[in-house]
């Protein structure tokens, strides 16, 4: 069992595309997989054409237990389930604050799910809040998509700093380059600086129209164009992630 969170403090860096495609690949390999959409925008839920039930709100989520199971939905693909996000999730932080041991609430909610699934993916909202801290604690692996620019670099350093201060294990962190444009020299320079470093995935995800088609077809890119460069990149990345997970969780 492994919990894999896809996170970045910044928005629009390809978090949801990564969660959706990697979760899909995990399910394809025969692993029972759950994707939890934690982002109030509900993009992952949208890609799978799933709407949450009216009663399923931030409060219901934090209550945990049976209500979670009741709100899990099967996607169109075998082995892949989704817990949809509700717009009330925008207030998750406030709600979390009311709990004792407020940084461990999400871990506690996920506990019963770990008995049912081999892999749980968390698609996280962009910010650094109490919810993020909860997710850092709950995850076995934190995947951070990272556009190779100076600004991203800055936000990554902030995150490292945050980990140091809060005492969360930094070995969970894995970075990869996302939305890479090969024709931009800055992207290539930035990537060269990071190449070969520990906890930087070798595979990066190019900036491609294929990935954007996901919004039109409302499907994982691997379903729309299974042989496209984008699909190949996700497949390679998943293999790399699987290898890391096998070492982490024997």
Residues in contact with another protein by CB under 8 A are 48-51, 69-74, 76, 81, 116, 218
- 46 or 136, CB closer to another protein? 46
Q: Is 191 exposed, middle or buried (0-12, 13-18, 19+ CB in 10 A)?
A: middle
> How far is Cα 89 from Cα 74, in angstroms, rounded to an integer?
21
If the CB atoms of residues 69 and 184 are measured against another protein, the closer one turns out to be 69
Eight-class DSSP state of 206: B
CB 50 within 8 A of CB 73: yes
Residue 117 C-beta: closest distance to another protein, Å: 9
Whichever of 81 and 133 has its CB closer to another protein, that residue is 81
Compute the distance between CA of residue 117 and CA of residue 114 in angstroms, rounded to an integer: 5
Nearer to another protein, 71 or 152 (CB): 71
CA distance 128 to 35: 21
Minimum gap (Å) between residue 77 Cβ and another protein:
9
Tokens 């910044």 belong to which residue? 10
- Give me the least distance between CB of 192 and another protein, in Å please: 43
Nearest distance, CB of residue 223 and another protein, angstroms: 12
CB nearer to another protein: pick between 47 and 177: 47
Burial 64-87, CB ≥16 within 10 A → b, else e: beebbeebbeebebebbbbbbbbe
CB of 71 to another protein, least distance (A): 7
């Amino acid at each position: 069992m492994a919990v894999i969170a896809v996170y970045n403090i910044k928005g629009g860096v390809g978090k949801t595309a990564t969660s959706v495609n990697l979760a899909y690949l995990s399910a394809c390999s025969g692993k029972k997989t759950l994707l939890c959409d934690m982002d109030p925008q509900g993009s992952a839920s949208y890609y799978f054409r799933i709407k949450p039930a009216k009663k399923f709100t931030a409060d219901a989520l934090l209550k945990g237990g049976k209500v979670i199971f009741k709100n899990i939905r099967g996607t169109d693909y075998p082995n892949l389930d989704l817990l949809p996000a509700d717009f009330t999730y925008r207030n998750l932080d406030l709600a979390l604050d009311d709990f004792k041991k407020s940084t461990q609430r999400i871990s506690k909610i996920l506990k019963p799910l770990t008995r049912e699934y081999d892999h749980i993916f968390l698609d996280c909202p962009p910010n650094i809040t109490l919810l993020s801290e909860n997710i850092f604690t709950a995850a076995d692996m934190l995947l951070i998509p990272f556009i190779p620019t100076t600004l991203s670099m800055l936000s990554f350093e902030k995150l490292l700093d945050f980990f140091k201060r809060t005492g969360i294990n930094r070995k969970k962190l894995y970075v990869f380059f996302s939305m890479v444009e090969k024709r931009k020299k800055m992207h290539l320079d930035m990537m060269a600086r990071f190449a070969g470093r520990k906890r930087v995935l070798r595979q990066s995800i190019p900036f491609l129209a294929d990935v954007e088609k996901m919004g039109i077809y409302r499907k994982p890119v691997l379903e729309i164009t299974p042989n496209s460069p984008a699909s190949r990149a996700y497949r390679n990345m998943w293999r790399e992630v699987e290898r890391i997970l096998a070492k982490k969780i024997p």
